[in-house]
């Protein structure tokens, strides 16, 4: 069966546009580390990474877990790959087998990595994470001296980079950003003559704090269209109407009859639900686009479907509804859905991304691609 009830559309032209905006913001001397963890924020890590490697000229990628990096190697990504999050000891051999770069956050892992490296007489590049106030991964700034002393025991460990992570860069007025920058700057000044590579900024840092760019930046959300008004959303979500009917006045809609009709109401059923990433928080609050017009969500979002008000509209089964994305001159984006759901765009994108029933359809220069990897020779 080829006809899909609901799907995602991933616009690779928008991805390339966003990369261009990011490069213009940071300048040609600052490297772009493309963050493609969590299946490229739900956009499909394999296609996105191969596309960025070839058409985006990306030289370094970043993921959260070593399994993600191994997938990238196996599909043909041959550039640098950073593993941003702490890993367990069992992962160490795979760093060497697949030529991956750990971002180290603990003395225990540093010692284990060094011992393994020395025992195999193989060198490995490492980045050291500094906790400047995120309160998560990384060494405290006061521990960096001890880190460097520890590394001297293991000549096979090559210090390539120093990183940190901003906790609230979206808020330009939050003084904590300056606090974090001050601590990172102290580490930078102590090591800048050591030919070490410094990276500090995520999307918020890229667009709100130019002085935080250092040698490289790590765009994640901004690659996919959020974080600045010049960016274009890459992901769209669409579905085909499966049922149209009229309900009498005084009729309940959905579980718990949280919406009651006050007149004869024509409704349409949209075959996507909270199992597909369309959050239950959007019950009676969300809206969709149908033929360039907004239609309200009526009642609760179910696991597999929800209902919209199409009273006084010409609607038929198989008409396409835009749940997220553009329709003519109107748009519903992940930011809108996040606000209505009391969450963040990251969760909206990865929620749709993890939905097994929503297949990705990629398009480039306005054309839907049947097999983007072969058609674009990625």
Structure tokens at 250: 């005084």
Task: Count the Cβ atoms, other than its own, within 10 Å of residue 281.
Answer: 15
DSSP 175: T
**Cα→Cα distances 207→172, 187, 242, Å:** 10, 23, 42
Using an 8 Å Cβ cutoff, are 324 and 7 in contact?
A: no
**End-to-end CA distance of the chain, in Å?**
28
Say which residue the tokens 């606000």 belong to.
339
- C-alpha to C-alpha distance for 241 and 269, rounded to whole angstroms: 6
User: Checking phi first, is residue 177 left (phi over 0); if not, alpha (psi -120 to 50) or beta?
Assistant: alpha
Could you give the residue numbers annotated as active site? 37, 255
Say which residue the tokens 């090591």 belong to.
191
**Cα→Cα distances 221→23, 80, 171, Å:** 15, 20, 15
DSSP β-ladder status, 293-298 and 287-290? antiparallel
Using an 8 Å Cβ cutoff, are 154 and 117 in contact?
A: yes
The number of residues in the chain equals 378
């Amino acid at each position: 069966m080829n006809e899909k009830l609901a799907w995602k559309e991933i616009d690779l032209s928008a991805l390339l546009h966003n990369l261009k905006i990011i490069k213009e913001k940071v300048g040609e001397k600052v490297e772009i580390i493309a963050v493609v963890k969590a299946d490229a924020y739900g956009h499909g890590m394999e296609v996105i990474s191969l596309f960025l490697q070839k058409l985006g000229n990306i030289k370094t990628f970043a993921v959260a877990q070593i399994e993600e990096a191994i997938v990238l190697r196996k599909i043909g990504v041959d550039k640098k790959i950073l593993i941003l999050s702490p890993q367990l000891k069992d992962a160490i051999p795979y760093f060497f087998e697949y030529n991956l770069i750990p971002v180290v956050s603990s003395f225990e892992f540093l010692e284990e990595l060094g011992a393994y490296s020395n025992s195999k007489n193989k060198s490995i590049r490492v980045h050291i994470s500094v906790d400047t106030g995120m309160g998560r991964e990384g060494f405290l700034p006061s521990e960096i001296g001890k880190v460097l002393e520890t590394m001297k025991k293991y000549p096979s460990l090559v210090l390539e980079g120093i990183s940190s992570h901003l906790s609230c860069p979206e808020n330009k007025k939050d003084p904590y950003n300056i606090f974090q920058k001050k601590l990172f700057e102290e580490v930078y000044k102590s090591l800048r003559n050591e030919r070490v590579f410094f990276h500090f900024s995520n999307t918020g840092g890229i667009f709100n704090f130019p002085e935080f760019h250092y040698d490289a930046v790590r765009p994640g959300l901004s690659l996919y269209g959020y974080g600045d008004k010049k960016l274009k959303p890459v992901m769209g979500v669409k579905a085909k109407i499966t049922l149209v009917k009229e309900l009498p006045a005084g009729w309940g809609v959905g579980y718990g009859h949280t919406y009651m009709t006050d007149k004869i109401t024509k409704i349409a059923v949209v075959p996507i639900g909270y199992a597909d990433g369309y959050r239950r928080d959007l019950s009676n609050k969300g809206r969709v686009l149908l033929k360039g017009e907004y239609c309200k969500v009526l009642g609760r979002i179910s696991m597999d479907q929800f209902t919209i008000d199409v009273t006084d509209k010409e609607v038929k089964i198989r008409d396409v509804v835009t749940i997220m994305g553009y329709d003519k001159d109107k748009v519903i984006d992940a930011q809108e859905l996040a606000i209505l759901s009391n969450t963040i765009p990251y969760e909206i994108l990865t929620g749709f991304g993890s939905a097994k029933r929503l297949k990705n359809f990629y398009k480039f220069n306005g054309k839907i691609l049947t097999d983007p990897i072969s058609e674009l020779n990625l």
